[in-house]
Each structure stands twice: as C-alpha cells, then as structure tokens.
C-alpha cells in the first residue's frame, strides 16, 4: 500500500457505469501543467460536470513526477472547493510497474495499455494490474486493438480494429472500462480519414457489455461522436483539441503585441497565459455539452 493522501478523488467505476446506463460520455482531459488543471477543475465545478483528469507518463515527468501530480490535484480540489466527482487517471500506462507507481502515489484510476504486446501478454499483465488496483480501490482501463497515430508516450499505433473475442476475455479480468481501436487516432485527423467503424464498435460492445473508451477524441465530427456514445462509448479522451485552442489564443495575444514591455507588463506569465487558460475553459464547456455529461455531477 502506498502513501495515503486526504483526497476528494474518486475512482471512475461508478462514473462510467452511470454514463453508459444513461447514454452519455464523461470527458477525460489531459493535464499539461498547473494552469491546465486549474482551468479544467474550475469549469467542471461551474458547470456541475464530472471530470476525469488524465496524465500520461510523459506529462507526469514534465510536471515533476507522480507524487507532485497527485499533490497538485489534491491541493486544487481543496483550494477551489471542488465538489463534483473528479478522477485522476494514468493515461496509457506502458508497464505494470508504472501503473503500480501511480496507484502508490494516489492516482484513483489507471490505464494499463498492453496493446503493443501480443494479446496473451496484454491479458496477463492486465490481470496483475487489476489485482493490485482492486486492493487500493482504483479503477482500471485496458486496451485491445490499437489507436492510430502517436500517443503522448511516443508509442505509434497502426490503428488495428479491436477483436470482440479479445474484448470479452479482457472484461473477465475485472477491468472497469475498455479502450478499443475502431478507426480512431491520436492527434489531428488527416484528410481522407474514413471515419469510425461503427460495426466494429457494435460487435465489441455486444461481446464486452462494458463502458467503452474513445481515445483520440479531438477532431472527430460531432455526429460520429454522438453515434459512438449511443453504441456504448462512455468515456472520451481529449488532449489535442485543448492544446490547439490554447496555442491559438496565445498566438493571437502575442501577434497583437500585448506581450511587449511597453504594453503594461503584458509579458507577465499570468497575463501571457490567461488567453490560453480562457480558451481551455471555453473548449471544455463546448465539448461536455455534446458529450452529454454537462451538469451530470450534481449531488
């Protein structure tokens, strides 16, 4: 058992079950720094929306380590008086050890991504993570098939479609939700992208009967996302879309010369980062509206 914090964090098991039963999806948004985390939590509270904060191994290293990420999130939950359900989730944990490290630090949910291994090894490792997670009341996400594009941890997936039989086997391990490859990719979607494979999603959902996770949620057309939700997707991962919104707002601020010393200390990081901060909040609010989870964190 790892170090314990006085924490308001919850695991995502009930959040995802509720979403699947009521045909909406909870947003998983990656946290890239303190401002990112604060803007997401503030907007979740303002809109009474449950939220899953995701951190990949690279993001965790950039921020300063597992313990610092947990301490930062817990401190913000207290200082901002956050009362909506909040999960802190390890995104694309690449090894059993990284999942255990996150659990020991105080993450309330982890993803073990063994999709780059043969299925037998993926299944074996997932079972080990599930066993350890359940001892600590932590929820678990696994993955079958692969998500196209490059993950934040540098792993590149070719975009293989998930196998329903493998999905059914994976569910038997005791996982709480399942990421599947259905033609989705990480990062911006290229021209000529054929769209999500809804038949594959239907087949996998029929076999697994569990909340599905749609990775690469940035840039998928709204009507496709809504259809995926109707077919069992209960968690949608977004990172690129918020990054683009942040950069666009920051670029506009700089192009307008507001960061120049002669313009009233516009170079102050608190002023420089504010347009991006507000852009994150606005994009988050828009996305949760059509995910259907907005307002679902009440009481």
Name the pLDDT band for 172 (thresholds 50, 70, 90). Answer: very high
Count of domains in the chain?
1
Return the exposure string of 37-55: e unless at least 16 CB atoms fall within 10 Å of the residue's CB, then b: bbbbbbbbbebebbbbbbb
Q: What is the pLDDT of residue 150?
A: 46
pLDDT single digits (tens) 24-47: 999 999 999 999 999 999 999 999
For the record, the structure tokens of 113 come out as: 């991504």
Round to whole Å and give the CA distance between 284 and 81.
Answer: 19
| Among candidate residues 149, 281, 130, the one with its CA nearest the CA of residue 220 | 149
Please indicate, yes or no, if residue 278 is contained in any of the structural domains: no
pLDDT at residue 240 above 70? yes
Catalytic residue of the set 78, 91, 152, 153 = 91
Please indicate, yes or no, if residue 250 is contained in any of the structural domains: no
- Tell me the C-alpha to C-alpha distance, in Å, between residue 139 and each of 1, 125, 128, 295: 16, 15, 13, 23
Please indicate, yes or no, if residue 186 is contained in any of the structural domains: yes
> Which helix (H) or strand (E) segment is 287 a member of?
helix 274-291
Residue 58 belongs to a domain with what CATH number?
A: 3.20.20.70
Q: What is the pLDDT of residue 187?
A: 64
Q: What is the pTM for the complete model shown? A: 0.91
Round to whole Å and give the CA distance between 55 and 30.
Answer: 6
Average pLDDT, the chain: 90
Please indicate, yes or no, if residue 272 is contained in any of the structural domains: no
For the record, the structure tokens of 54 come out as: 């995701």
The average pLDDT across 106-111 equals: 98
> Which helix (H) or strand (E) segment is 69 a member of?
helix 66-79
- Bridge-based pairing of strands 109-112 and 233-238 is unpaired
Please indicate, yes or no, if residue 254 is contained in any of the structural domains: no
pLDDT at residue 221 above 90? no
Please indicate, yes or no, if residue 268 is contained in any of the structural domains: no
Tell me the Cα Rg of the chain.
19
Please indicate, yes or no, if residue 270 is contained in any of the structural domains: no
Round to whole Å and give the CA distance between 165 and 153.
Answer: 28
Phi and psi at residue 294, to the nearest 5°: -60, 130
> Which helix (H) or strand (E) segment is 253 a member of?
helix 240-255
Count of beta carbons in the 10 Å neighbourhood of residue 71: 16
pLDDT single digits (tens) 143-170: 987 655 444 444 444 456 888 999 999 9
More confident residue, 226 or 5: 226
Contact 279, 285 (CB under 8 A): no
Q: SS3 of 7, please?
A: coil
CA 290 to chain centre: 16
* Residue 91 is a catalytic residue: yes
Please indicate, yes or no, if residue 285 is contained in any of the structural domains: no
Range of the domain at 134: 13-241
User: Under 8 Å CB-to-CB from 25, ≥6 apart: which residues?
Assistant: 19, 214, 225, 229, 233, 234, 235, 236, 291, 292, 293
The average pLDDT across 90-113 equals: 97
């Amino acid at each position: 058992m790892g170090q314990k914090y006085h924490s308001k964090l919850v695991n995502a098991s009930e959040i995802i079950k509720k979403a699947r039963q009521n045909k909406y999806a909870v947003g998983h948004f990656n946290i890239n720094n303190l401002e990112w985390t604060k803007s997401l939590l503030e907007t979740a509270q303002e809109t009474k929306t449950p939220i899953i904060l995701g951190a990949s191994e690279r993001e965790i290293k950039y921020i300063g380590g597992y313990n610092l990420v947990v301490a930062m999130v817990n401190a913000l939950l207290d200082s901002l008086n956050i009362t909506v359900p909040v999960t802190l989730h390890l995104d694309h944990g690449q090894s059993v050890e990284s999942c255990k490290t996150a659990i020991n630090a105080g993450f309330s949910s982890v993803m073990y991504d063994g999709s780059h291994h043969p299925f037998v090894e993926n299944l074996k490792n997932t079972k080990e993570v599930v066993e350890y997670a359940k001892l600590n009341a932590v929820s678990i996400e696994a993955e079958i098939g692969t998500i196209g594009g490059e993950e934040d941890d540098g792993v590149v997936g070719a975009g293989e479609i998930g196998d329903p039989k493998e999905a059914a086997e994976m569910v038997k391990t005791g996982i709480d939700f399942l990421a599947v490859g259905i033609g989705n990719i990480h990062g911006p979607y290229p021209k000529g992208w054929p769209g999500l494979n809804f038949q594959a999603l239907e087949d996998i959902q029929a076999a697994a009967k569990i909340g599905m996770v749609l990775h690469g949620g940035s840039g998928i057309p709204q009507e496709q996302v809504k259809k995926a939700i109707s077919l069992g997707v209960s968690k949608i991962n977004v990172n690129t879309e918020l990054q683009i919104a942040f950069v666009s707002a920051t670029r506009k601020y700089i192009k307008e010369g507001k960061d120049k010393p002669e313009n009233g200390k516009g170079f102050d990081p608190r002023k420089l980062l504010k347009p991006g901060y507000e852009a994150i909040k606005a994009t988050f609010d828009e996305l949760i509206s059509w995910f259907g989870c907005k307002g679902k964190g009440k009481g």
